[in-house]
Amino acid sequence: MTPTIVVLGGGYTGVISAVRLARRTRRAGARVILVNPSDRFTERLRLHQLAAGQPLAGLRIPALLDGGGAEFVRGRATRIDAERREVHVEDAGGERLLAYDYLVYAVGAVTDTGTVPGVDAHAYTLDGPEAAGRLAGRLAELTRRGGGTVAVAGSGLTGVEAAAEIAESHPGLRVVLLGHAEPGSMMGHRARRYLRRALDRLGVEVRAGVEITKVLPDAVELGGGELVPADACLWTAGVVAAPLAREAGLTVDARGRVVVDATLASVSHPSVYAVGDAAAVRQGWGEIHGTCQSGIPAGMHAADAIARRLRGKKPRPFRFGYFHQPVSLGRRDAVIQFTRPDDSPGPWHLTGRAAVAYKEAVTSSPAGLYRLSRRTVIPIRLLSRTGGRANRPAAGR
C-alpha cells in the first residue's frame, strides 16, 4: 500500500519537511501532502519589516514545492483524530478527511494575547502578513497625522528588531521598548552594548525591568499603576502553541507543545512527529527554543526519521546546537552574536555592514534551501552545531 504522510503547517519547518520527505521517500512510493490555510509562504523572519511598511517578496508555497513531488492542499486543519490517523481539513469546498500513516505537526505558535488583560483587544501582533499589515497601516496613519507613540512590549530579540525597524522607517514617531530584561540580555556584553547604542542612535526609548499589567486603548499600564501613553502597542512578549494537539489527545507540555522523544516522535502517538515552535524538544544541554535556526534542522530530521521507519530501520536521535543570534537593527545596521551549542554567548560577534550582509544571507536562505533540497539531500550537520559542553540553559527569543 502507498504510505501517506501529511505535513500540517507551511512555515519554514513544514515546507522543508515536505520537500525532504518527498525526496527521501520517493523509492517507497510515499504520498506527501502539505496542508496550510494560505498558499502564501510567510517569511516570519521579515514580518517586522512588513509592519514597518516595507514590501516583501511574494513567495508561494506551491512554487517552493514545484517539481519536488509533494502535494499542496490549501485548507485549515480543524481536528486531528490521532487514533484513526485522520486530519479534518476545511477548505473552499467544505470539509475533507486526510488519512495518514505519518503526520508531521508543524503548525507553529502564535503570540500569547490571553495572559495580560487588554492585549487581545488593543495590541497589534506579528502573527502573519495580515496582522503585520494592520500595524503597518496604523503606523502610516500616525505618520500622516504628524506623530505619535508606539509601545513595543517585549524586549526579546523580536521586540528589539521591531522597535529598531519602526524607529528607522518612521523617524517622526516615538518608539518605546518595554520589557522585563535588558535588550540583548542573552548576548555577550560587547554585543549587548553595541545593540543598546544602536537603539539609542535610532531614538528608541528603552524601559527595562518593568512589568506590563494591562493594555488600554491609548496606553500601556505598568506595575504600580504607571501609564505609558501609546497610540499603538505591538505585543511580542511570549507565544503559545495552537490547541490542535492538546484537543487531539497528544501529550503536550504546559505551553501546549507536543512532547517528543529523542527522534522527535510524539511520546504518546509515535506516528506523529512534531517540529518547530509546536514541539517541546530537549537536548543534553537543555530545551530548544523556537527559531528558524532550530526548526529547519528539526524538520529535516523528522523527514529522515520517517523515511528510515518506512525502510524498516530505527530512527536516529536528533542532535542540535545553536550557532548564532542574528539581530537586525533597521536596514543599515545589525549585530550577530556567535554562540556555543547551548546558545550561550561565545567570544565572537559581528557588527555594522558585515553583520547586515550576514543577517540578510541568513534571512534569505530558506527559499534557496528548499530549491536545493528538491535536487539533493543536504546533510543536517551543515545547518547545526552539535557537541560541546553547556554552560547554561538556552535563552528564549
List, as one string, the DSSP characters of 16-72: HHHHHHHHHTTTTT-EEEEEES-SBPP-GGGHHHHHTT------BHHHHHTTSS-EE
As a whole-number percent, the residues of the chain with pLDDT over 70 amount to 97
- Reply yes or no on whether the pLDDT at 256 is more than 90: yes
> Which 3 state secondary structure label does DSSP give 201?
helix
Q: Is the pTM of this model over 0.95?
A: no
pLDDT of residue 379: 87
> Which 3 state secondary structure label does DSSP give 179?
strand
- Reply yes or no on whether the pLDDT at 392 is more than 50: no
Task: Tell me the C-alpha to C-alpha distance, in Å, between residue 113 and each of 110, 124, 126, 176, 266.
Answer: 9, 10, 12, 19, 27
Average pLDDT, the chain: 93
Check: CB of residue 195 under 8 Å from CB of residue 208.
no
Separation of alpha carbons 152 and 175, rounded Å: 7
pLDDT tens digits, one per residue of 137-171: 999 999 999 999 999 999 999 999 999 999 999 99
Alpha helices per DSSP H over 237-351: 244-247, 292-310
pLDDT of residue 386: 64
Average of per-residue pLDDT across 294-319: 96
- Reply yes or no on whether the pLDDT at 326 is more than 80: yes
pLDDT of residue 340: 94
- Reply yes or no on whether the pLDDT at 311 is more than 90: yes
> Which 3 state secondary structure label does DSSP give 188?
coil
Separation of alpha carbons 378 and 395, rounded Å: 28
Nearest one of 363, 326, 286, 276 to 157, comparing CA atoms: 326
Check: CB of residue 277 under 8 Å from CB of residue 109.
yes
As a whole-number percent, the residues of the chain with pLDDT over 90 amount to 86
Q: What domains are defined for the chain?
A: 4-110+239-322 (3.50.50.60), 114-235 (3.50.50.60)
Look up residue 260 and give its DSSP letter.
Answer: B
Higher-confidence position of 271 and 363: 271
Most confident of 50-54, 55-59, 289-293: 50-54
pLDDT of residue 367: 79
Average of per-residue pLDDT across 73-78: 97
Look up residue 338 and give its DSSP letter.
Answer: E
Check: CB of residue 113 under 8 Å from CB of residue 281.
no
pLDDT level of residue 383 (50, 70, 90 thresholds)? confident
Separation of alpha carbons 261 and 248, rounded Å: 18
Separation of alpha carbons 273 and 258, rounded Å: 9
